[in-house]
Structure 1
Amino acid sequence: MIPRILIVAGSDSSGGAGIQADLRTIQALGGYGMTAITAVTVQNTLGVSAVHAIPPEIVAAQMQACLDDIGADAVKIGMLGDAALIATVAGALRGLKLPIVLDPVMVAKGGAVLLADEAVAALFALLPLATVVTPNTPELAALTGIEIEDEADVVLSAQELIGQGARAVLAKGGHMPGDEIADWLVTRDGQTRFTSQRIETRHTHGTGCTLASAVAVGLGRGLELAEAVRIARDHVHAAILAAPGFGAGHGPLGVP
């Protein structure tokens, strides 16, 4: 079975993150990727210099065109941009009996804001629809208002997000200090800690997109969430090690 993954996300002109990273990941893991592009960004490894949003009705139409014809086994959501688009995407997803991975993209690797402040609250409409939400610690702090200083805060914040409607949270610990990266999968039934050795490199552009897409492929294959996360983390680790070293800033991952 080839898992069909519908990606709802922005385009990265440099190919490191967004739709381009999603498609590369899905293909590497044996899936078939389709896209509903939410925005065209002008960016490279040094940062984002411009963003052109796609009208919400066109995003919804892209989604429906894929679902009506090819169908999907899972959905991955990335950059959404504003409240109007979030509401439109939520409407398009409501009623779908599919695994949904929500990566709440707020800030690009170079620091550019990719989600309007007023749209952060609108994200909560998507939480109950998602099988799992995959925030990094800054995103988790923005969503919950909890200052995160250690792993206990990470788990507490993820539990707070569960209390606000999320079904499961994969809280990514890459922004936390230390030689070890710890990610926490928190559900209503408990939590699981995943660890890996930190790789000292500046070539980490697109890690969040890659991880979320890899999880979507696993869920699209019918794997349990924890197993999909484990395989996805291993893929990201290998992709960082395989980074080609492109660009003067945060370079793209490779294909392991």
Structure 2
Amino acid sequence: MMHILLSRWRQGHRTLPYPKTIPPLPERFRGRPAIHPERCPEGCGACAEACATEAITLEASGPRIDLGSCLFCPDCVEACPEGAISYTQEHRLATRTRGDLVASSDGEYRLAAALDAELMRVFGRSLKLRVVSAGGCNGCEVDVNVLGTLAWDLGRFGIQVVASPRHADALLICGPVTRNMELALRKTYEAVPGPKLVIAVGACAIAGGPYFRQEEQLGGAAAVLPVDLFIPGCPPHPLTILDGLLRLLGRLEGEARIGIPT
């Protein structure tokens, strides 16, 4: 017992101090992309052609990236001969609507707003999540699970993952929602007592991800259920997921809109 206590004393406090400070992100982390229209060769289109999920469209003002479909892979960056697209360390990505998941050169990015006063009264202090894996690769589920570890300690924010939808306040959906999972997802949603929320995590749950052309999937959670929070990524970093959840609950103060990173 003394050896255990001594070891624990040597380890010290292991939980990250977030949100007081942002934990360091690795250099290879790919956050919200920055678009540099002045570098975009006219009529090039190399980035759009390289995108596996058709997330990039070309406009007069430059490329436009749908982060709901984006896999955050480097293909577009590597394809552009002039470096018109680059990735930043901006981890804040979650939005309340599908239409806000757009990165462009001539606008701001609207971050997720808090729930309205009535829902905040219900969920503001305690939020129970039932995770549903609806046909994905398990990457998003792994990063959701990371939030329950000692370093992140999701429970200190009053947010917990529960085993039964009867005990849940919200469904957290990962995967593109395959046809085989549609009925199970609907039944799980019906089993959650109201009022209830739906959170789509990852490119698959938002837009079908790399499977968007397959007939066996429905193109994300919104094709089946009303979605209250979209958290993009493939998979999203645990910090991105936590940021989105805390913004939904009004726990993070700061900008509702953030400018285009450079």
TM-score bucket of the superposed structures, by smaller chain: 0.3 to 0.5
**Which structure shows the higher strand fraction?**
1
- With CA pairs under 8 Å and 6+ residues apart, which has the higher RCO, 1 or 2? 2
Provide TM-score, normalisation by structure 2.
Answer: 0.34
Q: Considering only CA atoms, is the larger Rg found in Structure 1 or Structure 2? A: 2
**Which structure shows the higher helix fraction?**
1
